[in-house]
Structure 1
């Protein structure tokens, strides 16, 4: 008995790694805010308190929480 080759599957929706992929609910500003917070977390001189506040904003994952952290929250913690 010989097996038929499995046909290659083509994705019907783009993957996260595809250029130009963006979650349906994400705004460009929210995505920029997420990146800015990730950069703050990547900095080795970021204090544990600031890390906790940044992670809380990312966990909340709403555009308002991200913006609030960048505009006010990070200065209140520091």
Structure 2
């Protein structure tokens, strides 16, 4: 009986990255407006953030609202 080491082919680990996008991607225009009004209702929301939110609401497109919620509110800050 010969003793030989068991050799298995090396395996490369598989890394899966979730690319689910933003939680705002699947929201309807009404849901996006609700999210905007929640920001406006917060007493700690700054005047600059209120102005930026108002501009997005004035544009009145889902794309403008989504952009504000995903990016704009963080650019302006609280």
RCO greater where, 1 or 2, for CA within 8 Å and sep 6 or more? 2
Q: Which residue of 2 aligns with 1:58?
A: 57
State the TM-score, normalizing by the size of structure 2. Answer: 0.63
Larger Rg: 1 or 2? 2
**Secondary structure of 2:49 counterpart:** helix
User: What count of residue pairs does the alignment treat as equivalent?
Assistant: 51
State the TM-score, normalizing by the size of structure 1. Answer: 0.63
Moved over 2 A (4+): none
Q: Which residue of 1 aligns with 2:33?
A: 34
**Secondary structure of 1:46 counterpart:** coil
Q: Which residue of 1 aligns with 2:66?
A: 67
| Uncovered stretches (5+) of structure 1, i.e. residues with no partner | 1-27
CA RMSD of aligned residues (A): 0.9
